[in-house]
Structure 1
Amino acid sequence: MTAASKAAPGTAAPPALEVRGLTAGYGGREVLSGLDLALPQGEVLCLVGHNGAGKSTLMKLLFGLHQPEAGSIHLRGRAIQPRPDAMAREGVAYVPEGRGVFPGLSVRENFALALWSAGLEKVEGEARTEEVLKVLPRIREFWTRRAGQLSGGQQQMVSVGRALLSRPSILLLDEPSIGLAPKTFQDLMTPIRELQQRLGMSILLVEQNVGEAFAVSDRVVVMKSGQVIFRGVPADLADHARLMEMF
């Protein structure tokens, strides 16, 4: 895992990831407009907003899958131009919306492919696999089954597990609860939260299931039409009616 930059005594650590004045869109249609947002080191930031608010676009920009039209992106205080390979080397992992698995391969083969792609030797790969299976032990139950035969919740566990193989210090999770029952989402996120707190990982969680997501988050940001309209902590939005009023 890439270690997070340490701040000098008496100074605050820079954000794990930060965007300043970020503007981006598709085919001339603006999606993000001068966005300012920071993911604090060692915290879970939950990003919520209506469909089309720009949340998934932001995630793609942070991982280098889309390019901004204006503004800057900073990794641990350093301005960067993200590319997927470079972000992976910097300890950033991205789990996109939907099921990021190879359906024709078994779960074991999905893991093996991720390890091969990362260039890890057999012994190191086995060690990392065991680490992930300790965090998400239910994966053992369907280890030899084809990923395409799994339920949505099982596929999501595999997708997140593959991301954890890289021992990320920053994890980008885009709508992990899609298609999942609340209990299944809890089964997925509770051990991730425990791992995050133990290792000091930084997580940006885009999520519509606010009740379950707030339970594992330190801070909340609400987006609307490509801009931030609220920053706070989950307790600020304990009355979900207040959140609904923002839209």
Structure 2
Amino acid sequence: MSAPFALEAQNLTAGYGGRAVLQDVSLTLGAGEIVTLVGHNGAGKSTLLRVLFGLHRPESGQMRVFGQSLADHTPAALGAAGLALVPEGRGVFPDLTVDEIFGLALWAAAVAKPERDERIDEVLELLPRIRAFRTRRAGTLSGGQQQMVSIARALLTRPRALLLDEPSIGLAPKLFQDLLAPIAALRESRGLAILLVEQNVREAFAISDRVLVMKSGAIIEEGPPQAFADHARLMELF
């Protein structure tokens, strides 16, 4: 029997104030699969991730996480089921130190105190640059440092599936590569599934198994990254 999908969404429809943003969206994310979602600004990509993580309630549709239909679709319940989100814009608390942000994330995930140091050591092995600014307030960090903290905070929960929303925004290409590499390596070591919303298609496609193209609230095409290697054709789809 094959393993269940990490994520399976069927016919999701959602919007804001009566305005439709997602229109009958269906997708799958296999266990251990890396999928990149691309599309024009306003296509509905961030809304889709918010719906998948329980931050926005869909008007219709169904979702399964690792084969389970959850009665409770709150972020806490989805996090307990193995899902984590790195939101666009990082979302760190500027007045808290990095260590305080980590402590808050571990408390929110109900991680037992004796295990918390081990979790922190794990993410610092993956993102060792954080060691140099653990005691600084997040608001004093550069954009790249804040993005590291946001990703590390998500990884503290040891997710089995990770949603990443535009992690390259404001980052130099080399720093984005340095962030992507250890996350992609978790697919090999832990079977982590990743749904990546990203405009830096060259770097994203290099680690992806599959690409989904979104336009005006609908997924219009999908295939392996090499099917979208022609940048001009990809832009036409947008």
State the SS of the aligned residue for 1:241: helix
Q: Does 1:159 align with 2:150?
A: yes
Which residues of 2 match residues 1-247 of structure 1 at below 5 A?
8=1, 12-81=2-71, 82-247=73-238
1:87-132 CA distance string (max 9 Å, x none): 0111111111102211111111111121122232332000000000
1:123-161 CA distance string (max 9 Å, x none): 200000000000111111211111111110100000000
Taking a change above 3 Å as real, the CA distance of residues 116 and 14 of structure 1, as seen in their structure-2 partners, is closer
Q: Distance in 2 between matches of 1:51 and 1:142?
A: 33
Q: Which amino acid in 1 is paired with 2:57?
A: Q
State the SS of the aligned residue for 2:207: coil
Q: Which amino acid in 2 is paired with 1:139?
A: I
Taking a change above 3 Å as real, the CA distance of residues 46 and 116 of structure 1, as seen in their structure-2 partners, is same
8 A Cα contact 1:22 1:72, kept in partner: yes
CA offset at residue 79 of structure 1? 2.7
When structure 1 is superposed on structure 2, of 165-174 and 95-104 the one drifting more is: 95-104
Between the aligned residues of both structures, percent identity stands at 63
Cα RMSD over matched residues?
1.2
Count of residues in Structure 1 that have an aligned counterpart in Structure 2: 237
Q: Which amino acid in 1 is paired with 2:154?
A: A
State the SS of the aligned residue for 2:89: coil
1:18-44 CA distance string (max 9 Å, x none): 111111111111111111111111111
1:145-199 CA distance string (max 9 Å, x none): 1111111010000000011000000111111111111111111111110112211
Q: Distance in 1 between matches of 2:110 and 2:60?
A: 34
User: Under a length normalisation based on structure 2, what TM-score does the superposition of the two structures give?
Assistant: 0.96
Q: Which amino acid in 1 is paired with 2:65?
A: L
Q: Which amino acid in 1 is paired with 2:90?
A: R
Q: Distance in 2 between matches of 1:154 and 1:172?
A: 19
User: Under a length normalisation based on structure 1, what TM-score does the superposition of the two structures give?
Assistant: 0.92
Give the corresponding residue for 1:4: none
Q: Which amino acid in 1 is paired with 2:16?
A: Y
Post-superposition, which runs of at least 4 consecutive aligned residues in structure 1 deviate over 3 A?
none
